[in-house]
Structure 1
Amino acid sequence: MKHTEAWARSAPNEIKIGLISISDRASQGVYADQGIPALQTWLITALSTPHVFHERLIADEREVITETIVELCDELGCDLILTTGGTGPARRDVTPEATINAGTREMPGFGEQMRQISLRFVPTAILSRQTAVLREIEGHTALVINLPGQPKSIKETLEGLKDAEGNSIVPGIFAAVPYCIELFGGPIVQTHESVIKVFRPKSAVKT
């Protein structure tokens, strides 16, 4: 059942985005969280359509991560949920497992492309276990994507790599996000092409 008030949009094409930063120490106040500010900065620069953020800073606890994803999708109606942190091979890195627990279907292509981008910089990119899922409930679907923990890597992953003239070398994953959201019935999302150009099949191009 829809939660009408919580799910209301200020405009038909407003995208509701959940941002989850996963860090034991940042959530305890040992140091300032950098993940959510990095995500917000990039998204504000990239998106040309209305958007609203719901932020959560939590510890590396599998059940808490799953519950937070479920809350952002089911209770707040987020169309897109981005996590940052907790995707490595350390025992406390449980974000992928928690994400899969919250999902109904996996979207492995996002993780594959994120590792391809990171491999341009460091061979340890193969240690990343980032994944993506769809969470589908009655009347609503959310795309959930695990992103890296470092602000520089977050930007590179979302935006891709460009040469000195600004031409794309490796596409960023966000190029595919708006069309994915449209396919499951979400809002039509547009971006500033100078930051990231969205790809849509010609038959699906919207004005």
Structure 2
Amino acid sequence: METVKIGLVSVSDRAFNGVYEDQGIPALRDWILSALKNPVEMIERLIPDEQALIEKTLINLVDHDQCDLVLTTGGTGPYPRDVTPDATLNIADRIIPGFGEQMRQVSLHFVPTAILSRQVGVIRRNSLILNLPGRPKAIKETLSGVKDKDGKTVVHGIFAAVPLCIDAIGGPYIETHHHISESFRPKNFG
């Protein structure tokens, strides 16, 4: 099984300055380690809400570190310092609008203010970059989806589409633990 290289970026002025402990990277790390069957190499970055620095960090994780997947957390709202989507779009080769649309669909099951989220999904070179929410519970819901009390999927999480997307852009074949995130591939695929 191929190793998957994943960049984890938490964008938060307050966590960066030590006002509180970052919870985004630990939530991302825990979810990835529980969901993926593949060996994983993670590169973690905690940075402030500075657009130029976010752009530089994303470029470095893709172009230099050659991450297959980059997950950001934080900085996706409507506030003036929330510039993660702007930075992500600036360094993108292609936009995949469905990721942002689905993240908002998942979040709308819990909060009406999900429509204010500006999360995006993009491709840069051979890497998929996804902007996730900042709270650990929302990170998990966005990635895994929403299930009813009987365990039946009500809304798919975005990670169900990630393995096929990474296949399509030339990355490793990713396998998941289906009880965490069922990855979807067409029946005639691989």
Shorter chain as normaliser: what TM range?
Answer: over 0.9
Name the structure 1 match of 2:149: 164
Question: 1:110 aligns to what SS in structure 2?
Answer: helix
Pairing 1:34–2:23 present:
yes
Output aligned runs, 1:127-142, within 5 Å.
Answer: 127-136=116-125, 141-142=126-127
Structure 1 stretches of at least 4 aligned residues deviating more than 3 Å after TM superposition: none
Name the structure 2 match of 1:143: 128
Instruction: Give the alignment's TM-score, normalised by structure 1.
Output: 0.90
Tell me how far 1:203 sits from its aligned partner. Answer: 1.2
Name the amino acid aligned to 2:33: I
Pairing 1:202–2:187 present:
yes
Question: 1:203 aligns to what SS in structure 2?
Answer: coil
Name the structure 2 match of 1:102: 91
Question: 2:18 aligns to what SS in structure 1?
Answer: coil
5+ long unaligned stretches in structure 2: none
Q: Describe the superposition over 1:147-196 as per-residue Cα deviations: whole angstroms up to 9, x where unpaired.
A: 00000000000000011222111000000000000011100000001111
Instruction: Give the alignment's TM-score, normalised by structure 2.
Output: 0.98
Take 1:125 and 1:79, find their aligned partners in 2: how far apart are those partners? 27
Between Structure 1 and Structure 2, whose CA radius of gyration is higher? Answer: 1
Q: How many residues align?
A: 190
Name the structure 1 match of 2:178: 193
Pairing 1:59–2:48 present:
yes
Name the structure 2 match of 1:182: 167
